Amino acid sequence: MGSTTRKLIGSLIFTTFFTGSGFASPLNSKLLSLVPPGAEIVAGFENHPEAHRHGQLILSTHNDRLDLDDWQALAGVDSKRSFEEVIEVAASAPGRGMLTEHMVLVAGRFDKERIYRAAQMNGSQKADYEGQTIMLIEPFTREKGQMLSTRWLVILDNRIGILGTPFLVLSALHRYQAHPDIDMALTERLSQLRSDDSSWNVLIWSPRVLTNYTVALSESPWGRLLEDTEVLMIGARFGSKVRVDFSLHASRDRGAEFFKRKAVLFAEVFSGEPSSQTDAPQMRQLEDLSFDPDRVQGSIQLSLVQFEEWGVQSTRPHLYLVPRNTAHGE
C-alpha cells in the first residue's frame, strides 16, 4: 500500500448529516449494541427536525465519511426513507494495528427491496449469509484509489442499514442476532458525557494502534490535542447556541500541567484563537472545567455562526494517522 493511500486511512474530518428525529442520551441509542467491542473510533448522532439543531459529527475518519456519503447515494432511490440516527465505526484489523475496518450504521425506515434492486442495476452482486441478503458494493468511481475494498450492504427489517467492510458488518450481524447489551467499556465512556448531548465521539488510541501509527501534522491544534492522549470523548448539544463538551484521559503520570495544556488546546481547536503565553484567554472560554489525576473535562459555548465557521474550516483534514514506517521515511 502506497504512502498516500495509507494516509487516507485515518484522516479525521468534520461531517454533517440531517433528516429528522428528537434528542436522547447517547446510551439510549438503537444502534450502540451493534458496535463490536474494541473499536478505536465510534461516533454518532440523532437528528432533529429543526434545521439549526440538526445532528453533526465532530470527527470522522475519511473511510467512514465515504461510507456515509455512499449510504446516502444508495438509499437515495427510496423517496420515502427517513433517518433517525447514525453511528460511524473505525477499528483496526484483527491482530494488526491498522485502522482498515470501517462501518456506518443508520437507523430509520427504508425500502430494502427498492434499494437492493437499484444497487443490482448499478452492478452490485447479491450474496446470502445466515439468512440475510447482502449486497456487495464495489468502490464508486469517484472514490477509486481511496476506497480500496468491496463493502457489504445489509438492511435489517427495513429499519437498520449497515455499510462497511465485511469484518465489521459480520460483527454487527452477529450482535444483531444475539441481542447483546452495549459493550461495557463503551457504556462507561459514554456515561461520562452529558445526557443531553445529541452528537458524540469516542476516540481511543489503543496500544496496538500507537504501535503502528504516529500523529502527523502535530503542529495543528488537533494533532497537539491528541498527542499522548489515551481516550478523547467529545459531545455536542445543538440549540440556539452550540455547547461542545470534552473529556480527555491519559496516564496520571503526565501531571497536572499536561492536563491544563490539553484544556487550552481544546479551546483553541474550537475558538480558532492561538494560545498565548499565559493561556488565560482560552481558559476563560471553558465552562465546568474539572481536573482529576488522569482526566480533564469541560465545555465551550459557541454561537451558531461560530460553529458554522468552525465547520467550514474543518472540512479540510486536520489530522492524519500515518504508519510509523511511512512517517520515518522507511
pLDDT in tens, 87-129: 999 988 776 657 789 999 999 999 999 999 999 999 999 999 8
pLDDT of residue 26: 72
Q: Where are the domains of the chain?
A: 1-111+155-252+308-330
* Selection from 132, 70, 130 nearest residue 103 by Cα: 70
pLDDT of residue 124: 94
Which SS3 state, helix, strand or coil, does residue 324 take? helix
- Assess contact for 272 and 220: CB atoms under 8 A: no
pLDDT of residue 62: 79
Q: How far apart are CA 113 and CA 96, in angstroms?
A: 37
Ranges of the chain whose pLDDT falls below 50: 1-23, 51-53, 215-217, 315-322, 326-330
Q: How far apart are CA 155 and CA 164, in angstroms?
A: 12
pLDDT of residue 275: 58
Residues whose CB falls within 8 Å of the CB of residue 149, separated by 6 or more in sequence, listed in order: 139, 165
Q: How far apart are CA 330 and CA 318, in angstroms?
A: 24
Residues whose CB falls within 8 Å of the CB of residue 3, separated by 6 or more in sequence, listed in order: 322, 326
- Assess contact for 103 and 88: CB atoms under 8 A: yes
Name the grid cell of 99. 485502522
pLDDT of residue 87: 94
pLDDT of residue 98: 72
- Assess contact for 299 and 287: CB atoms under 8 A: yes
Q: How far apart are CA 54 and CA 34, in angstroms?
A: 23
What's the distance, CA 48 to chain centroid? 19
